[in-house]
Amino acid sequence: MTTLSITEASRAGLSALVAAAEEGRDTPLSRHGKVVAEVVSAKEIAQLRQDRDTLRDAALVMARFATDSGVRTTLDQAMEFFNLNRAELEAENAEEAQSDNS
């Protein structure tokens, strides 16, 4: 894979860079000797985005497994912790529903 400077890429032309990408040849572009971008095909970008999303989902699942103690809290336990009761919540919900319908 040949790295082109921005100036070389400009001389080669956008059409040539796109054609190379369509043929599966990625072209890294450098500025001051450092790669700052890469011309790749839309197919490869779509695959990379899909892989990124899959890896993010896998990381979330792994984090959940690593931190899950197995302890579950019921709604009643949560309400007790926050000093709430069902009658108060139902009254509040009814009041909100009534004001929404007005």
What token pair was written down for 32?
A: 């001051």
Q: State yes or no: pLDDT of 102 exceeds 80.
A: no
Helix (H) or strand (E) holding 34, with range, is strand 34-39
pLDDT value at position 11? 95
Tell me: the pLDDT tens digits for 22-56? 999 999 999 999 999 999 999 999 999 999 999 99
Domain ranges for the chain, please list them: 4-40, 42-71, 72-102
Sign of CA dihedral 63, 67, 68, 74: negative
Give the pLDDT band (50/70/90) at residue 13.
very high
Q: Could you tell me which residues are beta bridge partners of residue 9? A: none
pLDDT value at position 1? 79
With beta carbons less than 8 A apart as the criterion, state whether 42 and 24 touch.
no
Mean pLDDT of 61-87: 91
What token pair was written down for 40?
A: 């790749």
